[in-house]
Amino acid sequence: MPSSPIIASCLTLACVTIALTACSGMSRVKEEPPPGVTLAGNWQLDPRASTNIRQTLRQLVRPGRKRPSSDTGLDTSGPGDGGDQGPPSSARGGGRTSRQYGYDSTEIPPDISLQLSLLAGGDFLKIEQRPEELVIGNGETTRSFVPGERSVVSVPSGVADQRSGWKGKEYWIEIKPQVGPHATEKLRLSDKGGQLIETIDVSGEGRVKPLHVIRVYNPAREIPIVLPGEN
């Protein structure tokens, strides 16, 4: 007995939907948080409980080919290996590299601009959780997200698909560039609710290893505002 045209059409539509979801490579998220869950507040980094960013960046890159001795093309100056957690402000725009990121001045540098952009300004966070929007500020930039919405955003390598929303008690932000590694940022409260936990994962590519960073934040009264030209 031949299949009903309506059933066949439904099956075709379902297959297309599944295929599109698989191709996107992005997780399903919800628009609404669980009852009583809010990430809103001012948060200050606890360096002792968080990943050491400088150490992580130094271990991020595998050794590569050497440049010709007459053309290094890199700025090997910069801050020492102190104990602060974030990348230096001179690197926050992406593109400037040095020995502190895992390779010497004679090597052809890999592109870690996405990683640097995600790790910039991590000492403070201000989160506003509105019914249809989540706003995250770090004293330097402000990002806004509509839970469940997919959009196209700018990244150092060009443009990327972005989707964000709730997965249980975590807020997920997924970035999938057309070129380069993909990244996932997750925000949640600690089990006892007194701290904010941020997790950043960036896939590996070529000489650049996968990045995994955990940042723990304590409640703060306010966050400083960095004016243009101050960093």
Give the span between the Cα atoms of 50 and 224, in whole angstroms. Answer: 20
Q: What is the pLDDT of residues 12-38, one digit of tens each?
A: 444 434 433 434 456 689 999 999 999
CB 152 within 8 A of CB 161: yes
Cα Rg, the chain, nearest whole Å: 21
Q: What is the pLDDT of residues 192-206, one digit of tens each?
A: 889 999 999 999 998
Report which residue type is found at 9. Answer: S
* pTM, 2 dp: 0.72
Q: What local confidence, expressed as pLDDT, does residue 33 receive?
A: 94
Of 72, 76, 110, 73, which Cα lies nearest the Cα of 94?
110
* Helix (H) / strand (E) containing 95: none
Question: What percent of the chain clears pLDDT 90, i.e. is strictly above it?
Answer: 54
